[in-house]
Structure 1
Amino acid sequence: MLRRADFWKEEDEAPLLRLNRSFLPSEKIINEIKDNKEDDPIVNTDHERIIYLDAERTFLGTAQRTTLMNVLSFLRNEFGSYHQAMSYVSGFLLLTHSPSKVIETMRQLHRTVLIGYWTEEPVAFATDAYVFDYLLADYDPELHKHLLNNYIFPETYAQKWFTTLCVNVLPFEALFRFFDTFISQSIAASSNIFLFQFALSLVKHVREELLQTKSVATIYQYLRLDSSLPQLNAKIDKLAMSIVEGAKDYDLGSYDFTQLRQKAFNEKLRVRLEAANRAHQENKENQNSCITSSDDDDDDDETEEQTLSTAINGLVSHMKKLHI
């Protein structure tokens, strides 16, 4: 997209470019673009409403929105699920890659790296958020306790790092470095370990600021590197680059991530999923209430228990497929 004749005329104020901070157009980035295909082979005029809205939240020009919607609709049909984060990541990748290349990259990430992240109910992401929580407790128990005491839970702030891959978090110079590192390492190894390394690096770089405040709103601003904070604005570009570079300093090879994920699922998510399932079943029963015999009640209880067991076992099995 960056080489399209009217790109900057149409997209200079695009939401996706909010954190460009004059990095683009960069001759270095433009010269490194190897994928020059401008054809849009995926044509789909029957887009879901959410995809229309997400395209509007990303680009301003009709051509760019159309390309993004075609890519997202193709991915939605192939994945059988959709998550808004797909729009952020696809939109960023489209800046320097053709639609077909973006689809190929998104497919690889979805199947081998971010397994279960881009779904309507991303249990896999929530699990990994709590895996990070365990890592933080090991590396920095003081900061971990501070966040916990202020009711700052990992699934409420890690989403911008893990599912959207820091689009709208990192300034563009650092974001390009983040993507280069993440994609080259993660796809090759079928691993998302870099996300945990990055997250540990980020909290280390804003550690003192986090410990000095008990304001929930301010804590979240630091965790998303909000440049509207005067303390961050002046140094955000160098800080962001330092965070990305600092990720390599964390050697997580001694951790058993399969075990940590199972622990996170059992301790943090299983009870909530079971409660949600019970509430769903109760609501369904209330809507379809009728007079039944005691034998029928027993059968219903058994069926409900089997359904719950099947659902939980399926989720556990899914967690086991996640690997680093």
Structure 2
Amino acid sequence: MTGLWPGPHLTQDVVAWVTGVPGDASLHVACGMCLPVVELVNGLCCYFVVKDHVMQFPLQVIYLCAFYSDGEGRKRTSSTCSNESLNVGGTPVTPRRISWRQRIFLRVASPMNKSPSAIQQQDGLDTSELLPLSPLAPPMEEEPLVIFVSGDDDPEKAEERKKSEELRSLWRKAIHQQILLLRMEKENQKLEASRDELQSRKVKLDYEEVGICQKEVLITWDKKLLNCRTKIRCDMEDIHTSLKEGVPKSRRGEIWQFLALQYRLRHRLPNKQQPPDTSYKELLKQLTAQQHAILVDLGRTFPTHPYFSAQLGAGQLSLFNLLKAYSLLDKEVGYCQGISFVAGVLLLHMSEEQAFEMLKFLMYDLGFRKQYRPDMMSLQIQMYQLSRLLHDYHRDLYNHLEENEISPSLYAAPWFLTLFASQFPLGFVARVFDIIFLQGTEVIFKVALSLLSNQEALIMECENFENIVEFLKSTLPDMNSSEMEKLITQVFEMDISKQLHAYEVEYHVLQDELQESSYACEESEPMEKLERANSQLKRQNMDLLEKLQIAHAKIQTLESNLENLLTRETKMKSLIRTLEQEKMAYQKAVEQIQKLLPADALANCEPLLRDFNCNPNSGAKTGNKP
């Protein structure tokens, strides 16, 4: 069937949707324009001949254009014509009016219903009307969509319109490419960030773990960590059993936070003992007076670990921020040597803000900040408690250390201040932290006592002070994996909380007794002390008088010697002046004689003059002879 398709007036929105050209292009098809239908292929596309060109257009687009034509505001006309109504170029001649029934038919007509006339029209096409898919069709010089949309027959305007469309197409393509590039850059940044995070996490956890964590333990911890989000109290015996079986290195930071939450659900600090409610970000904006001390200790904290080894690298900067924030939060403690190692262990397993919260938990909730106070009273009590434990449970070792005058402060103070992190392997320290988050400060005593008891035989073999100290600082921390696992098992099974409490009370009682006894002695024997002090002062005065007399005698002797030296100096100066005057007189006399003597006589006298200059005394004696 050969028929005519009405050219509806297209709104800007319809054109923008159909052609992809922005609506402000004001593209439209002139009302009443007729296009000859050439062929319908597979019921999907229509091919039109416009301006000697074949154009392919989707059928659903034609339906859409016809549906969205504004027939109310504009007078829509269309006409049917035969093949004779087309000129050679295939352009419509005179549009004819169609009825509303035909308009409805054209909207819903199926492209598969072809009449014989349409087939005849197909057979009568010339080479310029062949389909684009046909190998005999000539190459298209213009885009069919642009030709269809353009209703102008002027070639110059069509060329300008084509250039405008090409520019719009290029701009649209460039914008799409830029959007795609931005999306790709964002995805690349996310991938790089995740890759850096994984690499940083791998570097942080670069230590040998103590013990092997089984898959069943991993599943158990996963279940417990789910309960952590709901803030549900868990059975402490169950937690103790799971912690004894092992902790996965990759989830250790989350498990520490879980243990801290369980502790806070059971214990609440009084309001006076709670830390100030200041956020970590606000603290970082402030300045601290402890900055120099913190910077000095950055290079000393885990110097061999790759995360902290780089000078002012990511690890050291995070450590500086954490220590700075805590020094501003806790004005009483500020910064003390040893806190950097505790903060470093926390940073290896969690982010800065999480590490800050866990540091506050250790310091305030578990009470570790007492040992960092300026008076160090808590540390002294801890040293006394450790000595009493050795005295009660390992008497031979205690006596051996006392005989060599080795107090716990020489070797155990770094253990308590750094929680074993400054001298022992990180895998062992991490296991110690696991138990600390569960049981608190008494874990330090358990670990210290187990270390000394396990190596008691080797310590007893050390015969002098230097050997014992060297063994405790160097050999003792160098344990193998089996020894560490054995020690951790002992710590879990040990219970010394009652003994520690009794020793602390004992320390305070002894301190009060010593103070009272000193006060009593001062009140009962004030006169004796004064007399002893008076006699000591008298002896000191006599000694000072004797020393003063000796000093006076020395001064007089030195003054007399000085006077003698001064007189001799004046005599020598006068003698030097006299000799210089005589020398000048002799030189003048020689010059006068040289002027009076003839030349050959002067030549004979030159040896004498040389002798005179070399030895003036001999010359003087020679001159006195007749």
TM-score band, normalised by shorter chain: 0.5 to 0.7
Q: Find the partner of 1:255 among 471, 491, 499.
A: 499
Q: Find the partner of 1:243 among 478, 487, 490.
A: 487
Structure 2: distance between partners of 1:74 and 1:270: 41
1:59-78 matched pairs, under 5 angstroms:
59-61=308-310, 62-78=313-329
- Structure with larger Rg: 2
Structure 2: distance between partners of 1:9 and 1:98: 14
Are 1:109 and 2:362 matched, yes or no? Answer: yes
CA contact (8 A) 1:166 1:175 kept: yes
CA contact (8 A) 2:209 2:249 kept: no
**What are structure 1's unaligned runs of at least 5 residues?**
187-191, 276-324
CA contact (8 A) 2:450 2:487 kept: yes
1:184 counterpart residue number: 438
Structure 2: distance between partners of 1:270 and 1:83: 31
Structure 1: distance between partners of 2:375 and 2:512: 12
Are 1:215 and 2:215 matched, yes or no? Answer: no
Are 1:137 and 2:357 matched, yes or no? Answer: no
Give the fraction of aligned pairs with identical amino acids, expressed as a percent.
21
Q: By how many angstroms is 1:45 displaced?
A: 7.5
Higher-RCO chain (CA-CA 8 Å, sequence separation at least 6)? 1
* CA-to-aligned-CA distance 1:187-206 (integer Å, 9 cap, x gap): xxxxx222222121111111
1:1-324 matched pairs, under 5 angstroms:
4=197, 7=200, 20=207, 22-23=208-209, 28-30=248-250, 32-34=252-254, 41=281, 43-44=284-285, 46=287, 48-58=291-301, 59-61=308-310, 62-80=313-331, 81=333, 82-111=335-364, 112-186=366-440, 192-224=441-473, 226-227=474-475, 233=478, 235-255=479-499, 257=501, 259-265=502-508, 267=510
Q: Secondary structure at the match of 2:401?
A: helix
Structure 2: distance between partners of 1:3 and 1:161: 34
Mean Cα deviation higher: 202-211 or 165-174? 165-174
Q: TM-score, normalised by structure 2?
A: 0.36
CA contact (8 A) 2:371 2:378 kept: yes
Q: By how many angstroms is 1:23 displaced?
A: 4.9
Q: By how many angstroms is 1:108 displaced?
A: 1.9
Q: By how many angstroms is 1:181 displaced?
A: 1.0
Q: By how many angstroms is 1:217 displaced?
A: 3.0
Root-mean-square deviation over aligned CA pairs: 3.5
CA contact (8 A) 2:442 2:497 kept: no
Structure 2: distance between partners of 1:195 and 1:270: 28
Q: By how many angstroms is 1:6 displaced?
A: 5.9
CA contact (8 A) 1:90 1:102 kept: yes
Structure 2: distance between partners of 1:44 and 1:130: 41
1:300 counterpart residue number: none
Distance 1:95 1:200, change over 3 A: same
Residue 251 of structure 1 aligns with an amino acid whose one-letter code is D
* CA-to-aligned-CA distance 1:90-148 (integer Å, 9 cap, x gap): 01110011122222222122223324112333220121111111111000111111111
Structure 2: distance between partners of 1:269 and 1:97: 44
CA contact (8 A) 1:173 1:241 kept: no
Residue 490 of structure 2 aligns with an amino acid whose one-letter code is G
CA contact (8 A) 2:345 2:430 kept: no
Structure 2: distance between partners of 1:255 and 1:8: 41
Structure 2: distance between partners of 1:8 and 1:220: 37
Mean Cα deviation higher: 177-186 or 106-115? 106-115
CA contact (8 A) 2:204 2:349 kept: no
Q: By how many angstroms is 1:3 displaced?
A: 7.0
CA contact (8 A) 1:89 1:164 kept: yes
1:281 counterpart residue number: none
Mean Cα deviation higher: 259-268 or 93-102? 259-268
Q: TM-score, normalised by structure 1?
A: 0.66
Distance 1:83 1:268, change over 3 A: farther
Q: Secondary structure at the match of 1:116?
A: helix
Distance 1:9 1:93, change over 3 A: closer
Distance 1:153 1:60, change over 3 A: same
